[in-house]
Structure 1
Amino acid sequence: MNFVVEENRCITPNSKDKSIFYTTFSLPKESDEILEYQPGDWLTIQPQNSPQMVSALLAELDLTGNESIELRRSGLVTVQQALENHLELTQLNPAILNKLQRQLGLGDWADRQAMMDYANGRDILDLLALYPQLKAQGVEFLNWLSPLSPRYYSIASAPIASASNKQQTVSILYKAVKYQNLGRQRFGVASNYLQDTQPGQILQGGLKPNPTFKLPEKASTPIVMIGAGTGLAPFIGFMQHRAIQQAAGQDLGGALLFFGETYQQTNCLFCDEFRNWQKQGLVETFYAFSRDQADKVYVSNRLLEQGDRLWDLLNNQAEFYICGSQAKLAESVKDALMRIFQQQGAMSEEQAQNYWRCLKQEKRLQMDVY
């Protein structure tokens, strides 16, 4: 599926710690397809590896790029094409280490977890630095590599009311991934590719349903949205959809947003929009900006402050949504909610765990974490 870039805008231009973009796509004018999606679904983007990464790997393998290679999914392509469009270069798949250990006797990792720990934060150039003897394989070395997979992004918009309108758009929110590791600057393959795109440029991707992250069937059901950073994305779509429902005269349940970022002045994502939605009675917001004061304040702190209210909402069949980092957000949010269950519901730790599982089984607790 082809998408046309309508807008690619950095919404944190003055931030000193991150660059977050809001990008909107449409379909090509000549397309017969329709953008069919629901708030909470995913947009996939098929990225391309950076020219710098491709050139570095060609140099390491002493290749020109004009050589040919047969790829299982793509057929006969040049090495240049394979490295640019078809092979994973910026992430080291632990499965590669497993194959090298089994077939060539390279490495002494005890188990898969050890391989995963080693591969984390490393790329294919790191693998060649570890085992320089692999460079002599030339083109054959590429057969060890994994296919370049599409990247999933939570959709940060809601479809407009008329599904027949070919000018529908779909938007995403993403952070430009950039970090130092082992003395070298690293970039996320998809975010690096996306941040350089210009209006009118065509990208390949797709729309994927997310059946486990959906607004309630009844608009009158209360909702609680919990996110941090780009985990705000699906909640933008939720709010756009609620605005459409309100305009149509539907009876809406209450909505609470708990959102965390680092600095309010530079990283308050979509704060103006949420302020307007709050004025319209569509949502009530609770923010946690961790670095605006000496004592760090996180989303989990805001949840605990509203523990009695959240418990009342749970007893009124509210549905909870958590979106963001598994390690940084989801675990701390679960800990906070478990404390609320125990304090407000007079539960033991085991009872709180069972209640958590029950909420997930009933789809009253939905998670989109990464």
Structure 2
Amino acid sequence: MVYELTYGFWILLNNMNGVGEVPYREGQSIGIIPEGIDKNGKPHKLRLYSIASSAIGDFGDSKTVSLCVKRLVYTNESGEIVKGVCSNFLCDLKPGDEAKITGPVGKEMLMPKDPNATIIMLGTGTGIAPFRSFLWKMFFEEHEDYKFNGLAWLFLGVPTSSSLLYKEEFEKMKEKNPENFRLDFAVSREQTNDKGEKMYIQTRMAEYAEELWELLKKDNTFVYMCGLKGMEKGIDEIMVSLAAKDGIDWLEYKKQLKKSEQWNVEVY
């Protein structure tokens, strides 16, 4: 049995000497090195976590980084309780505790600089993290050199409605920016489509297949995918038939999109 608890929290961004800040960009990750040693007596290896806050942080002072972490606890085949090393380390931190961090790292998921772009975000579970960072910059902050005037479209897939992370934040963004933000949830254990099929992220996208395909033919449309690897295959299946109607080989077209940095994937 697997117990999944999701936590959002802030880490103060000071280096090991307690001086200075750690600058990062929307879409990057930081490494966390858990305390203690592994079964071989060596220090634990770092784990990478996508950053869930904009470059100036949730408090706007560039001194914190927000993470979205799923605590992993399960019972193995021998009946032993196993705890994920880093997720439990992070979820058990208390205010004032220290954590060793590395980075930031990552170029694959960097937010587009074009304020007029169409940005399609496909996330499952804690894969929502980089998209929260994008959306905070777009809709919760004011910048002299950046004002988002394009279209942000978020598809978030989860097993149950209780797993919809940051739901209230996103709904507030949509309420205030109805022309610039579209929001679609796919709750697989609670929702079905017209055919009675479970509502996975690719199932929800299929409802807008023609519209999404038209957007993908534009030079200023950027797609970002973060979360479970399984959704990538389902999305390809949708696009193959749509592209074929225009005489286009989807897999070849996707290679072109990747080359132009319009198709960005970070799955696990």
- Bin for the TM-score computed over the shorter chain: 0.7 to 0.9
Q: TM-score, normalised by structure 1?
A: 0.64
Change (3 A) 1:147 1:271: same
Deviation string, structure 1 residues 37-74 (Cα, Å, up to 9, x no partner) = 001000111013xxxxxxxxxxxxxxxxxxxxxxxxxx
Summarize deviations over 1:188-217 as a string: whole Å, max 9, x none.
110111111111111111232211111112
The structure in which a higher percent of residues are helix is 1
Counterparts of 1:149 and 1:305, CA distance in 2:
42
Please report how far the alpha carbon of residue 251 of structure 1 lies from its aligned counterpart in structure 2 after TM superposition. 4.7
In the alignment, structure 1 segments of 5+ residues that lack a partner are 1-15, 49-83, 90-141
Determine the structure 2 residue equivalent to 1:172: 67
SS at match of 2:44: coil
Aligned equivalent of 1:283: 181
| Secondary structure at the counterpart of residue 207 of structure 1 | strand
CA RMSD of aligned residues (A): 2.5
Partner of residue 227 from structure 2, selected from 324, 339, 349: 324
1:254 aligned residue: 151
The aligned residue for residue 296 of structure 1 is 198
Structure 2 counterpart of 1:213, from 109, 117, 121? 109
Deviation at 1:247, TM superposition (A): 5.8
Gaps of 5+ in 2: none
Identify the structure with bigger relative contact order (alpha carbons < 8 Å, sequence gap 6+): 1
What is the match of residue 160 of structure 2? 263
Q: Runs ≥4 in structure 1, deviation > 6 angstroms?
A: none
Percent pairwise identity: 26
Give me the whole-angstrom Cα distance separating, in 2, the residues matched to 1:247 and 1:337: 36
User: In the alignment, which of 29, 45, 48 is matched to residue 42 of structure 1?
Assistant: 29
Q: Residue 159 of structure 1 contacts residue 168 of structure 1 at CA under 8 Å; is this kept in 2? A: no
Residue type of the alignment partner of 2:110: K
TM-score where L is the length of structure 2: 0.86
Instruction: Count residues with an aligned counterpart.
Output: 255
CA distance in 2, matches of 1:331, 1:149: 30
* Distance of 2:212 and 2:14 partners within structure 1: 44
Cα distance change on mapping 1:323 and 1:251 into 2, 3 Å: closer
Residues 16-36 of structure 1 deviation map (CA, whole Å, 9 limit, x = unaligned): 962111121113597322120
> Given residue 360 of structure 1, which amino acid in structure 2 is its aligned partner?
K
Query: Could you tell me which amino acid in structure 2 is paired with residue 241 of structure 1?
Result: K
- Confirm or deny: 8 A CA contact 1:261 1:290 kept in the other structure: yes
Tell me, in whole angstroms, the C-alpha distance in 2 between the residues paired with 1:359 and 1:250. 25
8 Å CA contact retained: 1:304, 1:340: no
**If you compute each CA radius of gyration, which structure gives the higher value, 1 or 2?**
1
Secondary structure at 1:272 match in 2:
helix
CA contact (8 A) 1:159 1:169 kept: no
Secondary structure at the counterpart of residue 176 of structure 1? strand
